[in-house]
């Protein structure tokens, strides 16, 4: 590295002779040296930034350890070229500071450069400036739930995993909403069908769902289930895995692949698995991240029929790393694969049956008009949708499919013919 520095020092001096007198100072060489040392530290030092090792907020302790550990990595074979480009960056920064027509803000220049650097990666990676990150943390702490509450907004420790990105909005899986809402919306419908909507995966979602299904069986039973994952932006990874596990007896649920570590697979278990009743899962473009894990697992194992629209396509894991100046780096560190080995990222999951949604569907669901009903309630009578279902063609069709499936006691042709 010293040899590189000496070579660049000579180049810097030759360049300085060609620049205006007022721009000739020692700061340019200092900047190159500082940037060189910083890059050398990141290249041959510990994997990740010293300001905070990645720690997964919404993963199991085993996964915490997996993503939090540090390791020494070998220098990049392209290191020399990277250093040269870094010297060019320092030169451009020096030109701007000394020659731009208006006084420049060094922080704005550097942060803008970092944003540009991160923007070349993927749409989910992001650099967050100190003020913006502090505001995010304040917002989280103001709505932090008490012990035992769902995982609503909370301060993000150094290295927090978040999941997903909705165009122009908050990240799916980045829990910033209030945790006061119920994790489930449940309705018993005519024809022996049960409707359950999961708005997002929060703490104890799987346990709450399991208890609700058990209660429904003891209070008259049900012949089929419509599981609504529309506009579910994700949430807790482990809860999504547990929900999928409720309906699968064996096999893979999801695999997580990262750059330098072996793939890890979450497996289903036979204990506590629900009976093999008709199961229709509603999905749309707002079905993202953890909810796509559930939909993908149930689809690949031929356990459920997917109906609605194509899902969002968020199949990656981000780690948020706090930096020493109060800024933060959100970086994609892993991707998901469904049991069949397909990547969700950027492509989503196509439903078995495509049904266009009514324009008002998403707004009505966000307003919570379905309500939370624990016991027998209004629903379909004589095969006709109730008033609050009439404008939801996806739900109406899903109920018809589930009823035919239950009456025929045979899986729909889409499931029988689907390749594993």
pLDDT band, residue 152 (cuts 50/70/90): very low
- Among 367, 358, 351, smallest CA distance to 389 is for 358
Distance of CA 313 to the CA centre of its chain: 10
The alpha-helical segments, DSSP class H, found in 120-251 are: 130-142, 205-218, 237-247
Least confident of 68-82, 221-235, 278-292, 369-383: 369-383
307 with 284: CB under 8 angstroms? Answer: no
Among 104, 120, 142, the domain-final residue is: 104
- Among 271, 291, 410, smallest CA distance to 348 is for 291
**pLDDT for the residue numbered 404:** 92
CATH of the domain at 194: 3.90.226.10
Domain count, the chain: 2
Domain-embedded: residue 222: yes
Instruction: Look at residue 56 and tell me whether its pLDDT is greater than 50.
Output: no
Domain-embedded: residue 248: yes
**What φ, ψ does residue 331 adopt, rounded to 5°?**
-130, 130
Tell whether 93 and 190 lie within a shared domain.
Answer: no
Domain-embedded: residue 130: no
Domain-embedded: residue 410: yes
Domain-embedded: residue 389: yes
* Residue with more model confidence, 118 or 409: 118
* Residues near 146 by beta carbon (within 8 Å), at least 6 away in sequence: none
Domain-embedded: residue 275: yes
Tell whether 411 and 286 lie within a shared domain.
Answer: yes
pLDDT band, residue 53 (cuts 50/70/90): very low
Instruction: Look at residue 396 and tell me whether its pLDDT is greater than 90.
Output: yes
Instruction: Look at residue 214 and tell me whether its pLDDT is greater than 90.
Output: yes
Instruction: Look at residue 387 and tell me whether its pLDDT is greater than 60.
Output: no
Number of other CB atoms surrounding residue 93 within 10 Å = 20
**pLDDT for the residue numbered 139:** 83
**What φ, ψ does residue 311 adopt, rounded to 5°?**
-75, 175
**pLDDT for the residue numbered 20:** 52
For 80, the enclosing helix (H) or strand (E) is helix 79-99
Query: What's the rounded Cα separation, in Å, for the pair 370 and 386?
Result: 11
Query: What's the rounded Cα separation, in Å, for the pair 266 and 254?
Result: 6
**pLDDT for the residue numbered 412:** 80
Among 55, 87, 104, the domain-final residue is: 104
Domain-embedded: residue 173: no
Distance of CA 118 to the CA centre of its chain: 18
Tell whether 192 and 298 lie within a shared domain.
Answer: yes
Task: Give, in degrees to the nearest 5, the angle at Cα 181 between 365 and 368.
Answer: 20
The boundaries of the domain holding residue 219 are: 185-416
Domain-embedded: residue 224: yes
Tell whether 85 and 200 lie within a shared domain.
Answer: no
**pLDDT for the residue numbered 272:** 92
349 with 284: CB under 8 angstroms? Answer: no
* Residue with more model confidence, 209 or 388: 209
Q: What is the pLDDT of residues 284-322, one digit of tens each?
A: 999 999 999 999 999 999 999 999 999 999 999 889 999
Tell whether 93 and 232 lie within a shared domain.
Answer: no
Tell whether 252 and 371 lie within a shared domain.
Answer: yes
Pick the most confident of 110-124, 155-169, 381-395: 110-124
The β-bridge relationship of strands 264-267 and 279-283 is unpaired
Query: What's the rounded Cα separation, in Å, for the pair 78 and 83?
Result: 9
- DSSP result, 81-142: HHHHHHHHHHHHHHHHHHHSSS---HHHHHHHHHHHHHHTT-TT-EEE-HHHHHHHHHHHHH
**pLDDT for the residue numbered 267:** 97
Q: What's the whole-model pTM score?
A: 0.67
**pLDDT for the residue numbered 325:** 94
Tell whether 213 and 322 lie within a shared domain.
Answer: yes
Instruction: Look at residue 60 and tell me whether its pLDDT is greater than 50.
Output: no
Mean pLDDT, range 108-112, rounded to an integer? 93
């Amino acid at each position: 590295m010293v040899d590189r520095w000496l070579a660049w020092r000579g180049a810097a001096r030759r360049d300085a002779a060609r620049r205006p007198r007022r721009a000739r100072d020692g700061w340019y060489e200092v900047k190159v040296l500082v940037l060189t040392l910083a890059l050398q530290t990141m290249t041959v030092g510990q994997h990740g930034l010293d300001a905070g090792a990645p720690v997964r907020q919404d993963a199991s302790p085993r996964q915490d350890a997996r993503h939090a550990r540090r390791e020494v990595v070998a220098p990049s074979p392209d290191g020399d070229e990277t250093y040269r480009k870094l010297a060019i960056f320092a030169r451009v920064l020096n030109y701007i500071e000394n020659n731009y027509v208006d006084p420049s803000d060094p922080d704005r220049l550097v942060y803008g450069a970092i944003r540009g650097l991160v923007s070349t990666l993927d749409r989910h990676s992001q650099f967050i400036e100190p003020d913006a990150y502090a505001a995010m943390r304040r917002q989280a702490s103001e709505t932090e739930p008490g012990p035992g509450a769902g995982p609503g907004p909370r301060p993000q420790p150094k290295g927090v995993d978040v999941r997903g990105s909705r165009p122009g909005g908050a990240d799916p899986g980045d829990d910033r909403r209030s945790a006061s809402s119920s994790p489930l919306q449940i309705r018993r419908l005519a024809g022996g069908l049960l409707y359950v909507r999961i708005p997002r995966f929060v703490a104890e979602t799987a346990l709450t769902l399991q208890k609700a299904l058990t209660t429904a069986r003891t209070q008259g039973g049900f012949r089929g289930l419509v599981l609504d994952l529309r506009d579910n932006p994700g949430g807790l990874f482990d809860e999504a895995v547990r929900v999928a596990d409720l309906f699968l007896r064996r096999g893979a649920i999801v695999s997580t692949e990262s750059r330098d570590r072996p793939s890890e697979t979450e497996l289903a278990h036979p204990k506590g698995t629900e009976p093999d009743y008709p199961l229709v899962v509603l999905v749309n473009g707002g079905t993202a991240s953890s909810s796509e894990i559930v939909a993908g697992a149930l689809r690949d194992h031929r356990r459920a029929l997917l109906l609605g629209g194509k899902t969002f396509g968020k199949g990656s894991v981000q780690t948020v790393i706090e930096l020493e100046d109060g800024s933060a780096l959100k970086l994609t560190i892993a991707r998901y694969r469904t049991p069949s080995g397909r990547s969700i990222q950027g492509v989503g999951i196509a439903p078995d049956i495509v049904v266009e949604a009514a324009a008002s569907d998403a707004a009505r669901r966000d307003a919570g008009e379905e309500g939370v009903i624990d016991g027998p309630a209004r629903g379909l009578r004589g095969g006709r949708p109730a008033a609050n279902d009439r404008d939801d063609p996806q739900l109406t069709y899903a109920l018809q499919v589930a009823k035919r499936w239950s009456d025929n006691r045979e899986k729909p042709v889409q499931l029988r013919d689907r390749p594993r």
